[in-house]
Amino acid sequence: MSMDWIWTAVGFLLTVCVLSYLFGDNPLFRLATSLFVGVAAGYAAVLLIYQVLLPRLVLPLLQGSLAERGLLVIPLVLSVLLLFKLSPRFTRLGNLSMGVIVGVGAGVLVGGTVLGTLLGQTRAAVDAFALQGTASPMVLLFEAVLFLIGTVSTLVYFHFGVKSRPNQPARRPSWMEFTASIGQVFLAVTLGALFAGVFATALAALIDRADFLFRAVQTLF
């Protein structure tokens, strides 16, 4: 009995267990997902040790130059402090390490968001008016204006700030309500397209599993 046969059998059993969820939540599905959680957690732990901690912390501390070792003492101490997060009594000792992660993460988040998302997307919206493409200039202009309306109205749809007035229900200004309703149309189209993409992917996975089950039955029995 080759190893491939065993792995095919494991794959077959797990596929059947997970697909059994189509008939409702049941012990087979929970069995497969519990095993998956355990294996995925173990794999993630091994990857973190071998691909991050060993090459970035442990090996440089053991084999690096004096300057390298000196700089790595700080993350080493912070890593040890972070382990105290496992203990409810000493959890506060890990706050400093969490502060470093959150602080650096926030700095990177703000920088990345401004340079990557906000400036990038705004520039893309403006660049559309350069009217460069294979289509006719009228179509390109129509597309650029339509996209600008779609982008702005979608943003307005998510603006929920209102001025409170005494004895009146809190409502957005009428122009904002109108723009938001246009945004709702664009949002429905976008979410529909996203849904179609996810559905097509899921359908491909379903076909793949059906094909795998068919081939596994031929191989195993």
Partner 1 sequence: MRAPVATAVAIGLGIVALLGYFVPLPFLVDIQSLLLSWAVILAAVAALVAIFNLVRVHVRKLRGSPPKQRGDGYSLLVLAGFAVTFLAGLLLTPDHPQFQQAVLAVQTPVETSLIAVLAVTLAYASLRLLQRRPNWMGILFALSAVFFLILASGALSGLRGLPLLGDLLGVVERLPLAGARGLLLGIGLGSLLTGLRILMGADRPYSG
Restricted to residues 187-216, the positions that interact with partner 1 (CB under 8 A) are: 187-203, 205-206, 208-209, 212
Q: How far is the CB of 169 from partner 1 (least distance, A)?
A: 21
Would you say 176 or 187 has its CB closer to partner 1?
187
SS3 187: helix
Size of the site for partner 1 (CB under 8 A): 118
Would you say 23 or 167 has its CB closer to partner 1?
23
Would you say 200 or 217 has its CB closer to partner 1?
200
Among positive and negative, which fits the CA dihedral 62, 67, 73, 76? negative
Map residues 77-116 to x or -, x wherever contact with partner 1 holds by CB under 8 A. -xx--xx-xx----xx--xxxxxxxxxxxxxxxxxxxxx-
Q: Which of 28, 151, 172, 176 binds partner 1 (CB under 8 A)?
A: 151
Among positive and negative, which fits the CA dihedral 129, 130, 135, 136? positive
Say how far apart CA 146 and CA 131 lie, in whole Å: 13
- The answer to whether the beta carbons of residues 81 and 94 sit under 8 Å apart is yes
- The answer to whether the beta carbons of residues 91 and 84 sit under 8 Å apart is yes
Which positions ≥6 away from 160 have C-beta within 8 Å?
A: 172
User: What residues between 153 and 172 interact with partner 1 by CB under 8 A?
Assistant: 153-155, 157-158
User: What residues between 19 and 78 interact with partner 1 by CB under 8 A?
Assistant: 19, 21-22, 30-53, 56-57, 71, 74-75, 78
- The answer to whether the beta carbons of residues 150 and 186 sit under 8 Å apart is yes
Q: Where are the beta strands (DSSP E) in the chain?
A: none
Contact stretch for partner 1 (CB under 8 A) within 11-19, 62-70, 167-175: 11-19
Q: Which of 5, 121, 171, 177 binds partner 1 (CB under 8 A)?
A: 121
